[in-house]
Structure formats: structure tokens, C-alpha cells
Chain A
Amino acid sequence: VSVETARQSNRIAPRPRRKGGDRSFRLIVLGSALTLLALIVGLVVFLLVRSWPAIQHYGFWSFLTSSRWAPSEATVTSRHPNPYGIQQFIFGTVVTSAIALVLAVPVALGVALFLNELAPARMRGPLVTVTELLAMVPSVVYGFWGVFALVPAIRPMVGFLTRTLGAVPVIGIPFHGPFFGFSYFTAGIVLAIMILPIITALAREAIATVPVDEKEAAYAVGSTRWEMIRAVVLPHSRSGLVAASFLGLGRALGETIAVTMVIGNRVLDRGTSLFGQGATLASAIVNEFTEANRPFHLASLFVLGFWLMVLTFVVNAAGRLLILRREVKR
């Protein structure tokens, strides 16, 4: 469906003379499209250029092998050890996003199944709007709400978990220790709510592609609604649901302000407890960016930005590829 096709399909009439202005019009829209390419190239180039001083000074991989971020120890000359270790930020980013995913995926799947398979047609529109409104709440409001409303509400639950699971040896370690409100866990819950809408929307798309005749076939052999969902809907949409999770994960990895407000921003080292304070790649950047005054400090923050970009790109690309493969298969 395009202007080009419409032209070419019109074989009977002589090919219309290209009207004046069409050439410049094509150039304008082409130029606009190329702006996107320039942006992505510029993004990568500028991140690398700005992080280059630190990479050159400390070495490319030395950032990944340390989990100690201590700008105050950085000097202009010393190269070892690298005072800008970022392992704990990658840990924080992955852990908070993983918590979010574990919490959000089952809920999103349930809502998607409800909306597509169960809800009366009259209710569907308003309910879809409700799930989508969650996506419109600004990040800073999520963080603010998280600090003042969510933390007091989850305090009893966290207390219960530390007393029970935290008392078990070995597996209790992640649940051990005091809870000051700001933690990986708090950030994970806030992220779960924030990525719920996108996973729900993509899960609904995946479920909507299940062929009706197969669903009817399942009913015809006497399946209940739940058996039909298990036998037809879920197997059919599995790769789409995985893709939805990946794209939700991609969103969670890069979320900044809300996480910064509830995670506690502990940068010096890595904690062991999920209920302890931490930091993510994004939160460390936004916290220190305008106050970076140590040698190689700002450049090291750009290194964080570079790895954050790599991480989100890989996860998002995986999700997109899954969706693409599904579309090709159909």
C-alpha cells in the first residue's frame, strides 16, 4: 500500500509526468527518515567519544571486573585498580528488572487473557484504557508515590519475609538484613507496575493471533474455557509472550527517575540483600552526572551510559526478532 504501488499498478494510462515538486518532496521525506539513522549513529559515536578518556586510561574491561565505585579515590595518574567499578550497577539493573518481570508477567498475562477471552465486549474498551493509563503516569510521580505510599505499605510484608525466609541459612541471604524502605525490592515493585501496561498490550496482541477455528475445535471436543486456553491459546502465543516479556524487560532496564527515588543510591559496593540499598546503571548516571568533578568521573559515567545502551539494545533486539519471526511464520 503506497504511492509508488498506486502509480505502478496504473498500467493502462501512460506513466504520469512527474509533477514539479515531487522530487524535492521525496528528498524531504527521505531526509527526515535519514535523520533517525543519523541520530542512532550520533548516539553511539558521542557516547564512545565522551567515555574514551576513561576507557583509554583504565582499559575497556576493567570497569566490568570491579564492583567498587569510589570517585574520591580517582587520581589523574593512577591506573590500577580502576576506582570506577560498575559490576554493582549492572547487578542492580538486572536484579530490579528481574523482580519487576517476575511480578509483572503473570499479572499481565492474566489481564490479557481476561480482556481477550473473558471480558464482555462492552467492558473491554474501558478496561483497556485503564490498563493503558498506567503507562501515562510520569516516572517521577511513580517514584514520589513509591517513597511515601508504597514503602510504608510493603514494610510489614518485608518484615515477614526477613523473619521467615531470612532466617533460613544460605537461601536466606538475599532476604536478610534491615529494611530502610529504599531497596532493590522496592524498585522492583515500582518497575513491575510501570512495565505492566506494555507487557499487557503486547501479550494481548500475541493472544489475538490465535486462530479462532482452533479455539472452536477445542470447545467442540468438550474443553472448558481454561482447558482451551491451556491447550490452544498459550502454546500458540508462547513466543509472542516471551517477546512481550523481553520488551517489558528492556523498558525496566533503562527506567531512571522512579528507580533513583526508591533504590537508595548506594554506589560504593554491592549489597547482598534484596531489601538493602543499591543503585542501577541509570540511577548512578543521573545522580552523579552534574556533580562529576573527579578525574575521569564524567567519562566513566558515559561508560555506564554505553553499557546501559548495549544492555537495553540486546534485550530489545531479542524481543523484536521474536516478534518478527512470528510474523514471518504467519
Chain B
Amino acid sequence: MYGALLLTVVPLVWILAYVALQGFHSISPAFFTQTPPGSPAAPGGGFYNGIVGTFEIVGIAFAVAAPLGVAAAVYLSEYGRGRLGYVVRFVAETLTGVPTIVIGAFVYAFWVVRFGFSGLAGSIALAIVMLPLIVRSSEEALRLVPMTLREASFAMGASERRTVVSVLVPAASSGIVTGLLLAVARAAGETAPLLLTALGNDLFAEYNPTHRMSTLSLQIFNNAISGFREGQARAWAGALTLISIVLVLSVGARVLRSRRDRTLRPG
């Protein structure tokens, strides 16, 4: 069992250390403020446009998926005990298992063929990736709220909407936020669906989400497989940046969760 633990810890440390080493070697202030040079073989430049793209695309995806996901979770935990609730829960589980590349192909088929590659198409794909994760974690958080809180709220004459919005969601907020953060972290690291939707654009910094956009993950992918040392150096700096963003989000989520566990512990 100690051997097994070692086999889990070693890859993690290896990956993090390797990325940190290579990343710090090639990262510079310019990396955060410049776009890549015209050729992957040229040195210098940075992933400014990809950082912008990641924040913008994930931000829009979050703005769509978070309210939708929490509302669906409210349905499942508060009203969804019948057949329909069972079906929706099953569908959420199924969606979690759908490969993200298939989600990318789907968004291509219903959006990109009409409106072209765009950051917005990437946001739609990422929203679909995030949605089932948010639904599941939020439903779990809502179910943990004690029944007595609902009864107390009704006893004071509150409506169902009022009970959910002012009592249940605040009571479950740390669990919900944990789930949201993890979903954002997951989406920020996605590459495959974006290749089929946002496509990437390394010529200049693009802010308009209806145009093709780059993200950190796309730039890492393209530069990593470019075969040029200079491109790979940028990709390592990008990998370090992306992994830092993702780890901050997920460690933040975990801190929040452990704090909640402490407050929920009886006695």
C-alpha cells in the first residue's frame, strides 16, 4: 500500500516539478504582455492573447452554466423525486461521461457551421462541459441543508422561491461555490473542444468573442507540437501559467470545503 501511494505521489510531484522547472526557465514579464511572434521558431513573445481568451471564454461559459446548473440542481433536490427527476439525474450523469471532444463536435455541428469559429462557440462547449459538474455538486450541497431550515422558513410564511433563494442557497453556498470553482478549473484546462470551436488566433490579441480566439490551452498545444525549441519554451511558460491558475482554483475549492466540513460537524 505504501508502494501504491508512492506510485500516486511520484507522478504528481514529477509533473509539477517538471512543469515548474521548464516554465520558470522560459517565463518572463513579456510572456504576460505580448502576443506570440509570427513564426513558432522565433524566440520571445508571449501568450497575452491566450490568457485573455481563457479568461473571456471561461468567463462567458461560467455566466451561462452557473445559474443554469444551480437552478437545475434546485429542481433535482427540491422537486425532483419523481420519474422526471430520476431521468434528469441520469442524463446529468451521462453528460458527465460524454467525451469533451464529442461536445466540441456537437457545438461545431449546431453553432460553428452557421456562425463560424468563435470564442463564443468555445464558451458554449465549455458551458456544456461545466453544466453537469455544477448540477451534481450543487444538488449534493443542497441536500445537505437540514430539513428544519425549510420548515422554519415556511413557518415564517416564506414562499418557495423565497425559501430557496434566501435560505437554502445561502446555507449551501460553500458547497455550491466549491463545485463552481472546480468546474471552472476543469473548463480552464480543456483543449480538445476548443480546437473544434474557438480554433485559436495567434496573430493579434482578440477581445471580441464572436471572432476566433486563442486560449492558453490551445497555445500550449500548438506550440508544444510545433517542433521548435522556441515555441516549446513558450508552451512550458504557458503550461506553468495554466497549471497555476487551475491549482489555485482547486486548492481554493478544497480549503472552502474543509471549512464547510468543520462548520457542519455536529457538536
Contact = CB atoms under 8 A, between A and B. Distances in A.
Interface string B185-201: 11011111001100100
Contact of B5 (A20, A30, A110, A254): A110
Nearest to A255: B99
Contacts of B97: 247, 250-251, 254, 312-313, 316
Interface size class of A (residues with CB under 8 A): 35 or more
A16 B71 CA distance: 23
A253 to B, nearest CB: 7
Interface stretch (B32-40, B55-63, B156-164, B202-210): B156-164
A133 B160 contact: no
B78 A33 contact: no
B267 interface: no
Nearest to B90: A320
B51 interface: no
Interface string A62-76: 000000000000000
B99 A40 contact: no
A170 B135 CA distance: 50
B246 interface: yes
A285 interface: yes
A77 interface: no
A35 B67 CA distance: 12
Interface stretch (A78-86, A124-132, A154-162, A212-220): A124-132
B211 interface: no
Contact of B160 (A26, A35, A282, A286): A26
B185 A114 contact: no
Q: Assign chain B's interface to a size class.
A: 35 or more
Judged by DSSP, the binding face of A is helix
A193 interface: yes
B39 to A, nearest CB: 20
Contacts of B235: 144
21 contacts: A1-B150, A10-B155, A18-B159, A19-B159, A21-B159, A22-B159, A31-B71, A32-B72, A36-B92, A39-B131, A111-B4, A114-B2, A139-B191, A141-B189, A143-B224, A145-B19, A254-B97, A261-B224, A282-B192, A290-B195, A305-B102
Q: Which 4 A-B pairs have the closest CB atoms?
A: A110-B4, A254-B99, A138-B189, A19-B159
Given A42-B106, A286-B192, 5 more contacts: A20-B159, A30-B75, A43-B103, A111-B4, A131-B8
Interface of A: 1-7, 9-10, 16, 18-22, 25-26, 28-37, 39-40, 42-43, 46-47, 49-50, 106-111, 113-114, 118, 125, 127, 129-134, 136-145, 147-149, 193, 196, 200, 247, 250-251, 253-257, 261, 282, 285-286, 289-290, 301-302, 305, 308-309, 312-313, 316-317, 320
